[in-house]
Structures are given as C-alpha cells and as structure tokens.
Amino acid sequence: MSNFLNQIPALPVGDAVEKVMDLFTNTFSTVFKFIQTDGTALMDSVTNLLISIPPIIFILLVAILAFFATGKKFGLAIFSIIGLLFIYNQQLWEQLMNTFTLVLFASIVAIIIGIPLGILMSKSTLADNIIKPILDFMQTMPGFVYLIPAVAFFGIGVVPGVFASVIFALPPTVRFTNLGIRQVSKELVEAADSYGSTGLQKLLKVELPIAKSTIMAGINQTVLLSLSMVVIASMIGAPGLGREVLSALQRAQVGNGFVAGISLVIFAIIVDRLTQSLNKKSI
Amino acid sequence: MRKRNYLLSSIAIGASLLLAACGGGSSSEKDDSLGKINLAYVEWDTEIASTHVVGQVLEDIGYDVSLTPLDNAIMWEAVSKGEADAMVAGWLPATHAAQLEKYGDNLVNLGENLSGAKIGLVVPSYMDVNSIADLKDEAGSTITGIEPGAGIMMATEKALEEYPNLNSWSLLPSSSGAMTVALKQAIANEEDIIVTGWSPHWKFASYDLKYLEDPQGVFGGEETINTFVSTKLEEKAPEAYKVLDAFHWTADDMEKVMLEINDGKKPKDAAADWIKENQDIVKQWTADVK
C-alpha cells in the first residue's frame, strides 16, 4: 500500500501558488503601488496628527469618552487615565499611536468590506454556501502566512500590515452580520412585507436595527483580532508596540517584552470596553 | 436618548480638538532635512549596533532616518525593491549566499563594512569536543539555533546533511536572544550545549567559548559584513550613498557598541556615545559629504 502511495509524485501545489501570486503581483502592480504609496501617506499623516495631540489632552479625551460611554461610571475612565499614563511614562506613546492608527484602519476596512458581505450572505443562500468555506479558510490559516503575500503586494510597512490584519480580522464581522439578520423573526419580516416595504426599507428599518447588537459583537471581535494581527505585522515592518514586543523576543529581554505586552493589554481593554459600550446603547 | 447626546457632544469636543491640533500643524520634519532614508536591519546584536551607528551618522548630516527591523529574507527583498533604501547586514560569501543570488541583481553592493567576521557552531570551552566531525550525542543531539530565516541556519542544515555523524541530529530554531539565554543557562549549570554562533558578538566577551572545527568547510572561512543599497539611492540621496559607501569599522568597534547595548543601554544612546568618542573614524565616513 505504502509503495503505491509513494509512486504518486508530489503535486506541485506550492509552485502553482507561487505562479498565481507572481501573476497577481505583476498584473495589479500599479494598483498595489498606488494603494501602498497613498495608504502609507494617509496613515502616516493620521499617526503624525495623533502624535501631535498633547498626550495629556488625548488621555483626558479618552477618559471623558469612557465616562459617558459606560453610562457615567468612573471605572473605565480611571483605568484609561492610569493605563495610558503608564504607557506614556514608559516612553511608548509614539508606538501606541502607531498601533492605534493600524488598528483603526484595519478595523474600518474590515467593517466596510465585512458588513455588505454579511448582508449578501444573509440574503442569498448561494453566496452563503460560497463564502462560508472561504471564511473558515481565512480563520484557520495561521496569521503568519498572510504576511508573505502582503509583502509581495505592498512591500514593507503599514499598508501590508493593514492588509494582513484585514484578512485575519474580517470573518467575525461577516459571520455575525449574517447571523444577526438571519435571526430576525419571520413575523417581523412578514409584517414589513405586508406593509409593502421595499427590500432596502426592510433591511434598513427592520433587519439591521434588530441585528445591530449581534453585528456590534462581531465588530468588537474584529477590532480585537486586528489588534492581535498588527502585532504580528511588525515582522514585516509595521511600526508600533508590536515592534517592541518582537524586538524583546528576538533579544530575549523579559522586562521590555513585559512592558510592551502590558501596554498592548491596556490598549486592548480600553478599545474592547469602548466598542462594547457602543453596543449597549438603546436604539 | 440623553446618554447619546453626551456621547455625541464628547465626540464633537474630540473632533474639534483634533482639528485644533491639525491647525497647529504637525511639522515633525526638519526644514533643513536632506530627505528621508529608511535603513532595514535584522534584530541581531551585530546589526542593531551597526545600523544604529550608521543611522545616527546620517541623522547628524541632516537626513530624516527611520530604522525598520525585519526578518532577514524580507530585509533583502525590501532593499531590492527599493522599499528600504539600504542595509549594512549582508554576511558574505557564505552566510547570505542564497539571498544574494536571489536578490543581488537588483541591489548595489557597496562592499564590506566589517571584515574578520565568522560563523560556525559554538560550544562552551569546558566541553571536550573540538570538531564537528567528533560530535556524537552531546546536548541531546540538538543544536540551538536562531531565527529560521537566518543564513547561519541554512548553513547549519547543510552541515547536518554533510556530516555523517550528524544525520540523527536536529536543529532547533529560536531567536538570537533566546539562543543567548539558552547558552547562559547551560553555562550556569555546566551542561552541554551547541549553538549557531557568529562573531563579532558580545557572547565571546561574556563567556568562555570556542568554535568547533569545520573540516568539511560547510560554514566557509572568514566572513565579511557588507553594505547593500537600493539601485535608486545614489540618485535619490547622493550624500547618504557616499556615507554608506565609506562606512567601515572593525570588530572591536562593533563589540564596544554591542556590549553597551547588552548591558542595558538603549541602542540609540550607545550609538551616539560611540560616535562621540570616535569622531576621527566618523569623519572618514563623512569626508566626501558637502
């Protein structure tokens, strides 16, 4: 049996993927170049803008936002002030702002792509059947693998970092949007139909408002996943806290690694609680 | 509903402050800047030292320098594509032969910046073995390596193939930092350990180590570290090109910087200190700059 198996030559899957990638890279090189140059310029200017805000004002803004977003409770606001002051004190402020920009862009792009895809899947069984396995594939493929095409397409720096993060973080938004809309009760949809609402009205006035909390939960997951990926993206030159973590790892500096790691945790908690609190709002 | 108004107003305050900050102008760039230079490097102790020193020298003559740490293969690719302008981390002839072959056509080789470098398998002096050919089953038949993409890892894999006594051995990838930690632990406990080593490196100053002889010549002889720049650099930043071309120092110089960094000094500060103390050498690098 094993003899028979050994007679099958190794299928050239890897070579085929390389060829397709090369074709892709060459065909769309102008588009990629454009996205890379303009994307980098845009993100750099956002980062510079964030850095130019005096940290103390930035921290107070976050605290005020946290205070009102969490229903006038002091918990998260105080945590934000202490946490962000700690990051500033450890001279990681600039890195934090870089990471913030990356997460912001990756999340926005993932949401812009993800919600329409989710709506499409909820409306069409065919799309659902096609996209589901692709999402499974995206979520189970190790995140590091996305760094390879990202470099081929967009070189090094912030843009390939966002590209890899979007692929990695997209699925929850798509899945939860799909799920949320599919869970809207049939009676309500029928009622909307009987009032003669158009498909678009039904979507905007009935389905999306009812599915909102599920969709927001998906977005929250996407934001956190993109945060974990922008750290890995530092391997291809994305700046930010991830670079500090990687450098500490490569140089085996426990202390630096811990400080950068804890800064990421603080940032993640603030982002997580803020996006969750948006979800609790009464509509 | 009221909560919502609070949220909106706080967002409005935030936005207006953002705009105010915008109006202030985020002019992080110096007016007298000669332009931007992006140096790529790998977080190996040698390259952290050299890249920070060169970067600081370029800063001093008026460039806006950013240093980008990358994986080895990606560093080569980035410079060959012009994503990064230059790197001072090409180990030749053996260590990075594969990368040079793959990307060399799109790079400008500005020659060596350090000679007398070496790679090989390194063990603590208390181990009885002196040659790779004499290894049997020391250290659990495992060689402790560094990042999987490093040239020395490829050379070591080749050694595992070429030496018949190593055919059941394995090479364990980790990182340069983790390798030195493992080395430190093993020496503290007087245990056997074999690591992928290279010099110049501070580990030779800190511990009593020796290279294993390499009768098959897998790791090559003496290595040089070379400077490679993107094909566009000479046109884009002629002064930086001149400095990178002239950049050359000794293993002793490099080890001074490495030791300081290893003792906890920030790479940027260690580089600046070295530059301050070695103005005569730095002046040679910047001699042709207008």
Give A236's contacts in chain B (Cβ within 8 Å). 70-71, 74
Give A22's contacts in chain B (Cβ within 8 Å). none
The residue-averaged pLDDT of B30-59 equals: 86
Put simply, whether B208 touches A (Cβ < 8 Å) is no
The residue-averaged pLDDT of B33-40 equals: 87
Put simply, whether B7 touches A (Cβ < 8 Å) is yes
Query: What is the C-alpha separation between A139 and A229, in angstroms, rounded?
Result: 12
Phi, psi of B173 (to 5 degrees): -75, 145
Task: Quote the crossing angle between the two packed helices A93-123 and A29-52, to the nearest 10°.
Answer: 130
Sort strands B223-230 and B36-41 into parallel, antiparallel or unpaired. Answer: unpaired
Q: Are the Cβ atoms of B45 and A251 closer than 8 angstroms? A: yes
Contacts of B168 (CB under 8 A, 6+ apart): B141
Put simply, whether A91 touches B (Cβ < 8 Å) is no
Give the model's pLDDT for residue B31: 47
Contacts of B44 (CB under 8 A, 6+ apart): A250, B89, B146, B150, B176
Residues 151-180 of B with CB under 8 A from A: 175-178, 180
Give the model's pLDDT for residue B87: 94
Burial B66-99 (b: 16+ CB within 10 A, else e): bbbbbbbbbbbbbbbbbbbbbbbbbbbebbbbeb
Phi, psi of A28 (to 5 degrees): -100, 20
Put simply, whether B30 touches A (Cβ < 8 Å) is no
- If you measure CA to CA, which chain B residue comes closest to A62? B14
Give A249's contacts in chain B (Cβ within 8 Å). 175, 177-178
Q: Are the Cβ atoms of A155 and B78 closer than 8 angstroms? A: yes
Q: Are the Cβ atoms of A247 and B43 closer than 8 angstroms? A: yes
Tokens 């890892």 belong to B153
* pLDDT level of residue B23 (50, 70, 90 thresholds): very low
Put simply, whether B83 touches A (Cβ < 8 Å) is yes
The residue-averaged pLDDT of B256-275 equals: 90
Phi, psi of A243 (to 5 degrees): -65, -40
| Spans in chain A with pLDDT lower than 50 | 282-283
Across the interface, which of A68, A237, A250 has its CB nearest the CB of B6?
A: A68
Whole-Å CA distances, B189 to B61, B143, B182 = 48, 17, 11
Least confident among A78-92, B172-186, B222-236: B172-186
**Tokens representing residue B199 in the block:** 């010099």
Whole-Å CA distances, A35 to A143, A150, B230 = 22, 12, 21
Give the model's pLDDT for residue B11: 52
Phi, psi of B243 (to 5 degrees): -65, -45
Considering only residues B76 and B27, tell me which one the structure prediction assigns the higher pLDDT.
B76
Give the model's pLDDT for residue B176: 81
AA letter at B110: L
Contacts of A133 (CB under 8 A, 6+ apart): none
Query: What is the C-alpha separation between B92 and B115, in angstroms, rounded?
Result: 10
* Contact between residue B229 and residue B86 where contact means Cβ atoms under 8 Å apart: yes
CB pairs under 8 A between A and B: 96
Across the interface, which of A61, A237, A252 has its CB nearest the CB of B68?
A: A237
A128: distance to nearest CA of chain B, Å? 35
Give B181's contacts in chain A (Cβ within 8 Å). 252
Q: What is the pLDDT of residues B116-154, one digit of tens each?
A: 888 889 999 898 888 888 888 888 888 888 888 778 888
Put simply, whether A6 touches B (Cβ < 8 Å) is no
Give the model's pLDDT for residue A167: 92
Q: Are the Cβ atoms of B22 and A49 closer than 8 angstroms? A: yes
Percent of chain B with pLDDT over 70: 89
Q: Are the Cβ atoms of A49 and B45 closer than 8 angstroms? A: no
Q: Are the Cβ atoms of A250 and B45 closer than 8 angstroms? A: no
- If you measure CA to CA, which chain A residue comes closest to B46? A251
* pLDDT level of residue B173 (50, 70, 90 thresholds): confident
Three-state SS letters, chain A: CHHHHHCCCCCCHHHHHHHHHHHHHHHCHHHHHHHHHHHHHHHHHHHHHHHHCCHHHHHHHHHHHHHHHCCCCCHHHHHHHHHHHHHHHCCCHHHHHHHHHHHHHHHHHHHHHHHHHHHHHHHCHHHHHHHHHHHHHHHHCCHHHHHHHHHHHHCCCHHHHHHHHHHHHHHHHHHHHHHHHHCCCHHHHHHHHHCCCCHHHHHHHHHHHHHHHHHHHHHHHHHHHHHHHHHHHHHHCCCCHHHHHHHHHHCCCHHHHHHHHHHHHHHHHHHHHHHHHHHHCCC
Three-state SS letters, A163-215: HHHHHHHHHHHHHHHHHHHHCCCHHHHHHHHHCCCCHHHHHHHHHHHHHHHHH
B63: distance to nearest CA of chain A, Å? 18
Mean pLDDT of chain B: 84
Rounded to the nearest angstrom, the gap between the alpha carbon of residue A44 and the centroid of all alpha carbons in its chain is 18
Give the model's pLDDT for residue A259: 94
- If you measure CA to CA, which chain B residue comes closest to A64? B10
Contacts of B208 (CB under 8 A, 6+ apart): B124, B125, B126
* pLDDT level of residue B19 (50, 70, 90 thresholds): very low
Which of B1, B2, B5, B7 would best serve as a mutation to test chain A binding (most A beta carbons within 10 A)? B7
Give B149's contacts in chain A (Cβ within 8 Å). none
Query: What is the C-alpha separation between B175 and B26, in angstroms, rounded?
Result: 38
* Contact between residue B194 and residue B138 where contact means Cβ atoms under 8 Å apart: yes
Which of B16, B19, B41, B74 would best serve as a mutation to test chain A binding (most A beta carbons within 10 A)? B74
Most confident by average pLDDT, A249-253, B62-66, B215-219: B62-66
* pLDDT level of residue B174 (50, 70, 90 thresholds): confident
Whether this model's pTM surpasses 0.85? no
Bond from prior residue into B148 cis (ω within 30 degrees of 0): no
B181: distance to nearest CA of chain A, Å? 7
Q: Are the Cβ atoms of A156 and B177 closer than 8 angstroms? A: no
The residue-averaged pLDDT of B188-204 equals: 87
Query: What is the C-alpha separation between B217 and B119, in angstroms, rounded?
Result: 11
